[in-house]
Amino acid sequence: MRRLAQCRALLVVVLASAAAMVSTSAPAQNRLAERAAMIETIKGHARSSASAVEGQGIDPAVLTTMGKVPRHLFVPEEQRSAAYGDRPLPIGYGQTISQPFIVALMTDLINVRPGDSVLEIGTGSGYQAAVLSPLAGKVYSIEIIPQLGERAAARLAELRYDNVEVKVGDGYYGWPARAPFDGIVVTAAASHIPPPLVEQLAKGGRMVVPVGGPFATQFLMLVEKRRDGSITTRQLLPVSFVPLRGGGAR
Ligand code: SAH
């Protein structure tokens, strides 16, 4: 009798842990239809911003990846129902996760190739880093607000984005120990293009960075470092980002 009770207790534990496994892995699988709708919206935006996306639309590999990353797990609980909408959302500490089209555009513009080393400034929720992860060899991301950086690092590890390394610090100065980078994505608006980031861009590399003051029009800029080391910059489209903070940003 006692043994039976013990067996029952064991079974309950086994079932409870199986249920826990299902409940943690299921959210990544569901909401497929919402992600598919989000991709269609991104494609529509890309058609109407043809000059910004260089005429060819968003790279299908970027769209495929965004169709898989569970965006709802990167936003606070109370924002989950709105996670796949076509707009930025608050993620706490006065910061926001970018609109899906902007994430797609920035990822597309840096032309990530397998094996590339990519640097992101402004980890925020970790969503942009998760989108970069399957496309790149290695993703480095810097966040200035410790609580956001730590939370994003834990979330990325839990969802097995294993090639992402997050650091808390001032991204204006880049990550010299990991440079050079084939691509750099800056997800907060600076008053100017940070020279340390241009320095840390590999030859043939590309950087996207919003430039402009918080109350002025900001523009997304594309910076390219040619094979001969020369720099070209192009102004693409008006955007609205939270300001880049920290020592060098002013
Ligand atoms: N890429 C993020 C959204 C970023 S919002 C995502 O996918 O969720 C911009 C982020 O940049 C904020 O979290 C803000 O704290 C951070 N930030 C601002 N200035 C910074 C700096 N100098 N270095 C690193 N991160 C910075």
CA dist 106 → 15, 159, 250 (Å): 44, 22, 23
For residue range 51-101, list pLDDT tens digits in order. Answer: 666 667 899 999 999 999 999 999 999 999 999 999 999 999 999 999 999
> What phi, psi does 115 have (nearest 5°)?
95, -10
For range 121-127, the mean pLDDT: 98
At residue 189, the pLDDT reads 96
At residue 26, the pLDDT reads 47
At residue 119, the pLDDT reads 99
Residue 186 Cα to ligand 1 midpoint, Å, equals 8
At residue 199, the pLDDT reads 98
At residue 126, the pLDDT reads 98
Question: Which of 121, 127, 208, 209 to mutate to test ligand 1, by most ligand atoms within 8 A of the CB atom?
Answer: 121
Atom of ligand 1 nearest to the CA of 246: 22
Q: Could you say which of 23, 51, 98, 230 is catalytic?
A: 98
The answer to whether the CB of 46 falls within 8 A of the CB of 230 is no
Whole-structure pTM value: 0.88
At residue 56, the pLDDT reads 72
Nearest Cα residue to atom 4 of ligand 1: 124
Q: Are strands 95-97 and 89-92 parallel, antiparallel or unpaired?
A: antiparallel
Nearest Cα residue to atom 23 of ligand 1: 171
Worst-scoring range by mean pLDDT, 89-103, 150-164, 174-188, 212-226?
A: 212-226
Q: Is 21 exposed, middle or buried (0-12, 13-18, 19+ CB in 10 A)?
A: exposed
CA torsion through residues 107, 111, 113, 117, sign = negative
Nearest Cα residue to atom 17 of ligand 1: 122
Question: Which of 140, 145, 147 to mutate to test ligand 1, by most ligand atoms within 8 A of the CB atom?
Answer: 145
Whether the upstream peptide bond of residue 214 has omega within 30° of 0, thus cis, is no
Q: What is the mean pLDDT of the chain?
A: 89
At residue 11, the pLDDT reads 40
Confidence band (pLDDT; 50, 70, 90) for 249? low
Residue 143 Cα to ligand 1 midpoint, Å, equals 6
For residue range 15-62, list pLDDT tens digits in order. Answer: 333 333 334 444 545 799 999 999 999 999 998 876 666 667 899 999
For range 173-179, the mean pLDDT: 98
At residue 248, the pLDDT reads 75
At residue 50, the pLDDT reads 67
- Specify the higher pLDDT residue, 197 or 13: 197
Q: Is 230 a catalytic residue?
A: no
At residue 213, the pLDDT reads 80
- Residue 183 in tokens: 């691509």
Which of 5-14, 50-59, 165-174 is the most confident on average? 165-174
| Ligand 1 residue neighbourhood (C-beta within 6 Å) | 91, 95-98, 121-122, 124-125, 127-128, 142-145, 148, 170-172, 187-188, 242, 244-246, 249
